Amino acid sequence: MTYGTQILARSLSVPSSGANGYAHGNLWQYHPRSDRHSKIVCWGVFFDLLLRESLIFRHVQDGKVAFGINHRMRDFQNDRQKDLDLVICRRAHAESSAGLRTLAEMIPAYGIMLSPAEQSLFSRLPDIPITSVQTALIAMEAKAAFTEFGKARPRLYDELNSSHLTIHGDTDSAIAAGLALINVADSFVSPLRNPWSIGTHPTVINAHNQPKDAAGAIAKISQLPRRSSTGERGFDAVGAVVIDCKNDGSLVRLVASQPSPQKGEAFHYDSFIERIDTIYAARFGGI
């Protein structure tokens, strides 16, 4: 059983003021200039990997592996760099990121909402520090397409595609993981189209053509290159999560029906987690 997608929907249902407060004092569930959504889903992915109690968990438990967030990786081959949302790596010296020092401290910092059952599961895990990154084992990037899909589709593809190029340009053996968050709501309140305190002017609402818009975004990420072994170009694991987020304060729902990837399909979240875990066991058993 996985929990990350449920955690994402539950957490995004609670509007946030952002790290430094959004303009005009507004609270938003999603803001395109915030990384809260990507940090929540990356946290959930790591949580789900740890709960499998396989090799990743044992390496963390033994103090061999920790994680970094907002880690800058450099493509040695082409001399370009990119900040990755989550890197699972060989444990080095502890450090903080934006004042955070552990996986547990990310929970209040990003407004991660755990159910009582999830909190109980998390309490059984070892304390996991944020570490400086020397050798990346898994590097993950999460990107979203929530509205204005005509612009979002090529941006989503380009930003994810540049991630695996940078990851493998830095460390070819690293597992490059990309996760796309796709909105299937038929309307959306865009923070960028409502530059005032909400309620003081008529709210501008973007209309979507669903499920066509969401299906088009998923079709676009299906074009991302994928690889089956080291030495090739492409992602080692790609997933897509479909949610219904109107960004108006209403409940954010996880969507399991089409166009969401179905159980057993390559882009389904459970398949994404399974693939990362399986590749890690095959590739890093000698650590």
Q: What is the overall mean pLDDT for the chain?
A: 92
What is the model's pLDDT at position 20? Answer: 82
In the predicted model, is pLDDT for residue 96 greater than 60? no
What is the model's pLDDT at position 232? Answer: 93
CA nearest neighbour of 173 among 256, 108, 90, 51 = 90
β-pair partners for 176: 139
pTM: predicted TM-score of the whole model, two decimal places: 0.94
Token pair for 222: 């299906």
What is the model's pLDDT at position 180? Answer: 98
- The tens digit of pLDDT for each residue in 236-246 reads 999 999 999 99
- What Å distances lie between residue 203 and 25, 150, 190, 191, 246, CA to CA? 15, 22, 9, 10, 13
For residue 265, the enclosing domain spans: 4-283
Q: Which of 70-79, 94-103, 242-251 has the lowest mean pLDDT?
A: 70-79
173 touches 88 (CB < 8 A): no
Give every strand in the sheet of 136-145, ordered side by side. 65-75, 80-90, 136-145, 175-183, 237-244, 253-254
* Dist CA 81 CA 71 (whole Å): 10
* Residues contacting residue 75 through CB under 8 Å, at least 6 positions apart: 81, 82, 165, 166, 169, 170
Sign of CA dihedral 102, 103, 104, 109: positive
Number of domains composing the chain: 1
More confident residue, 80 or 86: 86
In the predicted model, is pLDDT for residue 193 greater than 90? yes
In the predicted model, is pLDDT for residue 107 greater than 80? yes
* pLDDT tier at 100, thresholds 50, 70, 90: confident
Q: Which of 43-57, 95-109, 171-185 has the lowest mean pLDDT?
A: 95-109
SS3 (DSSP) at 149? helix
Please state the rounded mean pLDDT for residues 260-281: 97
57 touches 50 (CB < 8 A): yes
SS3 (DSSP) at 243? strand
247 touches 16 (CB < 8 A): no
* Residues contacting residue 70 through CB under 8 Å, at least 6 positions apart: 35, 83, 84, 85, 97, 98
- The tens digit of pLDDT for each residue in 23-77 reads 999 999 999 999 999 999 999 999 999 999 999 999 999 999 988 887 776 665 6
In the predicted model, is pLDDT for residue 16 greater than 60? yes
